[in-house]
Amino acid sequence: MYDLHTHSLLSDGVLLPSEIVRRYQDKGYKVIAITDHADYSNIASAVKAVLEFTRHWPKDSAIKVLPGIELTHLPISQLQPLSKYARRQGIKIIVAHGETPMEPVEKGTNRASLEADIDILAHPGLISDADVELARERGIFLEITSRKGHCDTNAHVAGRAKKYGARLILDNDSHQPEDIISPAELIKVGEGAGLSREEIENIYIEVEGWIENIL
């Protein structure tokens, strides 16, 4: 099991990366990514810190940790250059903060994110059919999330993804200990979005294969 969307005290989370990893391991996860929020003000320091942490994480650990970043509330013109910067530095998982109705995200962020070098469009809200089709064409994962508020549009995202054949991913978007739910609970979030158990199993198979390719 995996969660590729987590936040530490490197941005607005409350735990050290090592504490996050330990809690996820205790819940039964096998792979996570540390994906702290970033813009031009902190991307250099955040990228450096997470790369340093993951380089020193024991290779024989029962849980693998991938270096990531979440590009958050950027002017849409900055998504391309910052995603390219993060990738050049060695970041493996690039998340973009999608147009959740819970926050005042700039209109057009979903489209600009999907046109940039990202892997996951987080909580994309009432994403348009055209943007779902672009996500499918580019192989970008659309997120089904357990995070309060952001999860309100899970059914819309899941329904559109199934209609157009876009990739889905299930994540916690954790910021604090109580956000880290078990894999079984995360599966229930997927079911609540209208996904069958078979569809969820297929999502995990696809994501796990993708992870193996980038490890």
pLDDT of residue 110: 98
pLDDT digits (tens, 9 = 90+) for 180-204: 999 999 999 999 999 999 999 999 9
pLDDT digits (tens, 9 = 90+) for 163-174: 999 999 999 999
Q: Looking at residue 176, what DSSP letter applies? A: S
0.75 surpassed by pTM: yes
CATH number of 2-214: 3.20.20.140
Beta bridge partners of residue 97, listed in sequence order: 122
3-state secondary structure of 104: coil
The CA distance from 18 to 23, in Å, is 9
Residue 106 near residue 73, CB atoms below 8 Å: yes
Residue 2 near residue 208, CB atoms below 8 Å: yes
What is the DSSP annotation of 22-73? HHHHHHT-SEEEEEEEE-TTTHHHHHHHHHHHHHHS-TT-SSEEEEEEEE-S
pLDDT of residue 85: 98
pLDDT digits (tens, 9 = 90+) for 27-73: 999 999 999 999 999 999 999 999 999 999 999 999 999 999 999 99
pLDDT digits (tens, 9 = 90+) for 118-154: 999 999 999 999 999 999 999 999 999 999 999 999 9
pLDDT of residue 215: 83
pLDDT digits (tens, 9 = 90+) for 70-128: 999 999 999 999 999 999 999 999 999 999 999 999 999 999 999 999 999 999 999 99
